[in-house]
């Protein structure tokens, strides 16, 4: 990439004029925003590199963003005028994103500003739209507030991604879209939602998982922003898929040996899926439930006081073993699975030397 000093030297030597130099710089910036950034060095997809903190300046600016958000929340509570402070927070987040997300490209501040912008827009939308729909204090009024809040949250995240390409924005937009749909369904069909809310969440999680998988398959070597966006989507999808299913097994009625064994079997299946797609988010979401099931089975043979420490020890050994042997496990399992043409679109297996 040509440095700014090279372009100015070209102007000095008469190769190009100043107007052409300005247009070249502007074109380079537009292309940098429009196209995913590719890292120059080789990236091992098994390591799941994630741009979160590029240096301490990210932390320093992030602290400033957090202080600003806290100040605006505190002022809105003390002085009232929640609508004005929500709009002020959204405008401040957008303006700061122009500096820290679009120009300086600081990862952590960009994420915090994206959350701040979407959250402020959600609060502003709920204040504007909620009271006009239903009488205050009713269940339908609360659902109406939630519908407007989630819709505003999701639309703001989508707008922020269109402008700044922050990796967390697609996940925030998905939260807003799913939340608005669920809140609207609670208004239109409350009895149905009380019976099938978990199924709706699982269906939403599977949809988000499919989108994340498509982004991963578009970038199997994980060198672009698509990989970061897919990671956030995988984290969201994993929670929506795993928690409703495992909670229904673990906390509906009495947990017994059969339920504990079923949870562990499902955890193994999730582990195989995680190995195939090379994403650990599914395992992280299921760890707590695997610990509950493992602890229950252990306490059947030892005293209750030893059950929890032994369960934690078992999970620690499992996590550390997976971390150390992740590549070798992928290299062992993938060749034996009937993946067909899908294999070429998955992250390549890099066996340890």
Position 132 pLDDT exceeds 50: no
Domain boundaries, the chain: 1-35
Stronger pLDDT, 232 or 139, i.e. the higher one? 232
Look at residue 348 and give its three-state secondary structure: coil
Mean pLDDT for the stretch of residues 43-55: 64
Confidence of residue 173 (pLDDT cuts 50, 70, 90): very high
Burial class (CB in 10 A: 0-12, 13-18, 19+), 139: exposed
Instruction: Say what the pLDDT of residue 140 is.
Output: 52
Position 342 pLDDT exceeds 70: yes
The rounded mean pLDDT for the chain is 80
CA 96 to chain centre: 21
Stronger pLDDT, 175 or 350, i.e. the higher one? 175
Burial class (CB in 10 A: 0-12, 13-18, 19+), 146: buried
> Model confidence over 212-231: pLDDT tens digits?
999 988 888 888 888 889 99
Stronger pLDDT, 253 or 86, i.e. the higher one? 86
Instruction: Say what the pLDDT of residue 112 is.
Output: 93
216 vs 345: CA distance, rounded Å: 8
Position 154 pLDDT exceeds 50: yes
Mean pLDDT for the stretch of residues 334-343: 80
Mean pLDDT for the stretch of residues 123-127: 88
Looking at 37-41, 138-142, 339-343, which range is the least confident one? 37-41
Mean pLDDT for the stretch of residues 129-136: 49
Q: Are 167 and 112 in contact (CB under 8 A)?
A: no
Confidence of residue 343 (pLDDT cuts 50, 70, 90): confident
Stronger pLDDT, 351 or 120, i.e. the higher one? 120
Instruction: Say what the pLDDT of residue 289 is.
Output: 82
Mean pLDDT for the stretch of residues 65-94: 83
Position 178 pLDDT exceeds 70: yes
CA 257 to chain centre: 34
Stronger pLDDT, 79 or 4, i.e. the higher one? 79
Position 131 pLDDT exceeds 60: no
Looking at 158-162, 303-307, 308-312, which range is the least confident one? 303-307
> Model confidence over 32-46: pLDDT tens digits?
544 544 443 445 555
Position 320 pLDDT exceeds 50: yes
Instruction: Say what the pLDDT of residue 26 is.
Output: 60
Can you list the alpha helix ranges (DSSP code H) found in the chain?
4-12, 18-34, 56-79, 82-97, 107-129, 139-164, 169-188, 190-218, 225-251, 257-277, 281-299, 304-333
Instruction: Say what the pLDDT of residue 138 is.
Output: 47
Confidence of residue 135 (pLDDT cuts 50, 70, 90): very low
CA 83 to chain centre: 28
Length of the chain: 353
Instruction: Say what the pLDDT of residue 253 is.
Output: 59
Is the Cα dihedral 290, 257, 202, 243 positive or negative? negative
Instruction: Say what the pLDDT of residue 335 is.
Output: 82
Q: How many Cβ atoms are within 10 Å of 18's Cβ, its own excluded? A: 10
Confidence of residue 49 (pLDDT cuts 50, 70, 90): low
280 vs 82: CA distance, rounded Å: 40
Stronger pLDDT, 126 or 138, i.e. the higher one? 126
Rg for the chain (alpha carbons), in Å? 24
Angle between the 107-129 and 139-164 helix axes, to the nearest 10 degrees? 140
Stronger pLDDT, 42 or 78, i.e. the higher one? 78
Instruction: Say what the pLDDT of residue 121 is.
Output: 93
């Amino acid at each position: 990439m040509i440095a700014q000093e090279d372009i100015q030297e070209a102007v000095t030597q008469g190769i190009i004029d100043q107007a052409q130099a300005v247009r070249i710089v502007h074109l380079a910036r537009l292309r940098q925003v429009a196209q995913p950034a590719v890292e120059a060095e080789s990236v091992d997809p098994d390591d799941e590199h994630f741009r979160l903190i590029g240096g301490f300046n990210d932390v320093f600016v992030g602290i400033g963003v957090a202080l600003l958000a806290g100040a605006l929340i505190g002022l809105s509570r003390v002085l009232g005028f929640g609508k004005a402070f929500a709009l002020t927070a959204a405008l401040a987040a957008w303006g700061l994103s122009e500096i820290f997300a679009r120009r300086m490209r600081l990862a952590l501040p960009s994420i915090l500003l994206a959350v701040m912008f979407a959250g402020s827009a959600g609060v502003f939308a709920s204040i504007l739209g909620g009271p006009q729909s239903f009488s205050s204090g009713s269940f339908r009024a609360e659902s109406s507030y939630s519908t407007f809040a989630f819709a505003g949250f999701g639309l703001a995240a989508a707008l922020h991604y269109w402008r700044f390409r922050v990796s967390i924005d697609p996940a925030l937009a998905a939260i807003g879209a799913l939340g608005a749909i669920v809140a609207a369904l609670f208004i239109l069909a409350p009895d149905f939602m009380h019976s099938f809310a978990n199924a709706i969440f699982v269906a939403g999680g599977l949809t988000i998982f499919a989108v994340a998988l498509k982004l991963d398959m578009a970038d199997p070597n994980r060198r672009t922003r698509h990989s970061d966006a897919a990671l956030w989507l995988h984290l969201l999808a994993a929670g929506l898929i795993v928690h409703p299913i495992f909670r229904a097994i673990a906390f509906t009625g009495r947990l017994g040996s059969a339920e504990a064994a079923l949870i562990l079997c499902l955890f193994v299946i999730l582990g195989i899926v995680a190995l195939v797609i090379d994403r650990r988010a599914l395992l992280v979401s299921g760890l707590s439930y695997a610990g509950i099931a493992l602890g229950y089975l252990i306490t059947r043979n030892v005293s209750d006081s030893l059950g929890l420490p032994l369960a934690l020890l078992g999970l620690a050994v499992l996590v550390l073993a997976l971390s150390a042997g992740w590549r070798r496990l992928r290299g062992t399992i993938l060749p034996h699975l009937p993946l067909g043409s899908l294999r070429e679109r998955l992250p390549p297996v890099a066996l340890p030397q």
